Amino acid sequence: MGIEELIKKAMENEHLKAVSNMTKKGFSDKDIIEILDITKDRLNLLKKKLGIE
């Protein structure tokens, strides 16, 4: 695995943890998108991976 792939994987893991924690604390999708600077589609993908919704 190359450096770029490792960085991408680490970023995804951090986003997964953040989305999980923020969802548990009642943050809205809009707030999560703004705070993490991600798209709605990206948020939906992360939530799907976490089994949310």
Q: What is the pLDDT of residues 1-53, one digit of tens each?
A: 799 999 999 999 999 999 999 999 999 999 999 999 999 999 999 999 999 97
In the prediction, which pLDDT does 41 show? Answer: 97
In the prediction, which pLDDT does 18 show? Answer: 98
What residues contact residue 38 under an 8 Å CB cut-off, 6+ apart?
Answer: 15, 32, 46
Query: Using CA atoms, how far apart are residues 18 and 14, in angstroms rounded to an integer?
Result: 6
In the prediction, which pLDDT does 50 show? Answer: 96
DSSP state of 41: H
Encoded tokens for 32: 């999560």
On whether the pTM is more than 0.85, the answer is yes
Residue 37: strand, helix, or coil: coil
In the prediction, which pLDDT does 26 show? Answer: 97
